[in-house]
């Protein structure tokens, strides 16, 4: 008799446990989520804890020497982007380890990158992640694709222009950058022949006309030797740092000067660091770059 009662109790407790587990999972989809990443070097996929994943991402995506508030902003943006990819991915992995999604460094790669500063920078990054644990960006209670990039030309770009996504929280804003930084203004020189070959145009005489810039001062369209290009296509074809570029033709060379680095949508990482140096916290930084968003716990999203 006692054994039967014990069996009934075990069964009932088991049912209650499964009910609670199902309820928690249903009401908070992201509780205890892991992330599956594909290593583009080894072609191996692995599933790891989200917060552990973020350590490798912050190490790969933002200089660990940056201000703590900038690192916190990056932790939230990266966490948000990762959860967004988990939600929409239809592959057997959610993200890759390269810049096509988010750069991820292994522990060994961090050691090689930081050398004697490994322990200091690792602790700093972990602190930024822990202090923002589970925090993500949402718009109308939906997790957002929190794009970010290295450095703006003074303005961020509209997501509609770059990705064809009409998102009110990913529109152009002013971004204060350190214009004296070596990466802000970069000039590279290529031969006229290489220039024309990359663009697929005839090059007896080089004629550059009708340069149209948008409100973010990035090239929207340009005509080169009677052929029309978008700024985005020129950036891709010539492997430029940004779509804010200028050409100067001299002799047999084309000098190309770019301002900023990256696609320009969302948070500028160097801009975030400048804001942090000016005394802004991660909340102000994120809400500047992502218009109208809320910062909330991932577990509060239904």
Average pLDDT estimate for 112-126:
98
Query: Which structural domain, as residue segments, surrounds residue 130?
Result: 34-146+281-300
For 152-201, what is each residue's pLDDT tens digit? 999 999 999 999 999 999 999 999 999 999 999 999 999 999 999 999 99
- 208 shares its domain with 134: no
- 289 shares its domain with 225: no
pLDDT band at 9 (very low <50, low <70, confident <90, very high): very low
Evaluate if residue 249 carries a pLDDT over 70.
Answer: yes
Residue 227 lies in a domain: yes
H or E element at residue 52: helix 50-61
- Catalogue the long-range contacts made by 84-91 (C-beta closer than 8 Å, 24 or more residues apart): 84/143, 84/144, 84/145, 84/146, 85/35, 86/30, 86/33, 86/35, 87/29, 87/143
Average pLDDT estimate for 254-262:
98
For 61-82, what is each residue's pLDDT tens digit? 999 999 999 999 999 999 999 9
How buried is residue 100: exposed, middle or buried, by Cβ count under 10 Å (0-12/13-18/19+)? exposed
How buried is residue 290: exposed, middle or buried, by Cβ count under 10 Å (0-12/13-18/19+)? buried
- 78 shares its domain with 119: yes
Residue 47 lies in a domain: yes
- 227 shares its domain with 79: no
Residue carrying structure tokens 């716990």 = 297
What are phi and psi for residue 89, nearest 5 degrees?
A: -65, 135
Total number of domains constituting the chain: 2
Write the DSSP symbol of residue 97. Answer: S
- 140 shares its domain with 242: no
- 141 shares its domain with 212: no
> Out of 25-34, 42-51, 98-107, 226-235, which region has the weakest mean confidence (pLDDT)?
25-34
- 38 shares its domain with 84: yes
The reported pLDDT for the residue numbered 16 is 43
Residue 165 lies in a domain: no
In contact, 262 and 272? CB cutoff 8 Å:
no
Residue 24 lies in a domain: no
Residue carrying structure tokens 């430029």 = 240
- 64 shares its domain with 121: yes
CA distances from 45 to 49, 87, 176, 205 (A): 14, 18, 38, 50
* pTM for this entry: 0.87
- 211 shares its domain with 285: no
- 135 shares its domain with 71: yes
Evaluate if residue 151 carries a pLDDT over 60.
Answer: yes
The share of the chain scoring above pLDDT 90, in percent, equals 86
- 119 shares its domain with 220: no
- 38 shares its domain with 142: yes
């Amino acid at each position: 008799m006692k054994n039967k009662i014990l069996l009934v109790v075990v069964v009932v407790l088991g049912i209650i446990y499964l009910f609670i587990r199902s309820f928690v999972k249903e009401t908070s989809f992201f509780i205890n989520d892991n992330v599956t990443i594909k290593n583009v070097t080894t072609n191996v996929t692995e599933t790891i804890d989200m917060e552990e994943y973020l350590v490798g991402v912050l190490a790969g995506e933002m200089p660990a020497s940056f201000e703590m508030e900038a690192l916190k902003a990056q932790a939230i943006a990266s966490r948000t982007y990762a959860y967004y990819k988990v939600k929409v991915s239809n592959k057997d992995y959610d993200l890759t380890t390269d810049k096509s999604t988010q750069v991820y460094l292994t522990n060994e790669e961090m050691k090689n990158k930081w050398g004697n500063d490994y322990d200091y920078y690792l602790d700093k990054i972990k602190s930024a992640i822990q202090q923002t644990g589970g925090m993500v960006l949402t718009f109308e209670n939906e997790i957002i694709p929190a794009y970010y990039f290295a450095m703006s030309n003074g303005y961020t770009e509209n997501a509609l222009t770059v990705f064809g996504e009409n998102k009110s929280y990913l529109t152009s804003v002013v971004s204060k950058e350190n214009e004296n930084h070596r990466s802000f203004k970069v000039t590279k020189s290529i031969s006229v022949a290489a220039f024309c070959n990359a663009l697929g145009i005839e090059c007896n005489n080089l004629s550059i006309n009708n340069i149209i810039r948008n409100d973010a001062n990035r090239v929207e369209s340009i005509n080169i030797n009677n052929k029309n290009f978008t700024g985005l296509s020129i950036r891709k074809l010539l492997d430029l740092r940004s779509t804010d570029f200028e050409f100067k033709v001299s002799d047999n060379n084309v000098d190309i000067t770019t301002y900023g680095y990256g696609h320009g949508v969302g948070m500028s990482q160097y801009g975030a660091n400048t804001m942090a140096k000016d005394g802004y916290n991660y909340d102000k930084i994120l809400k500047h770059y992502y218009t109208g968003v809320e910062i909330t716990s991932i577990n509060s999203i239904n």
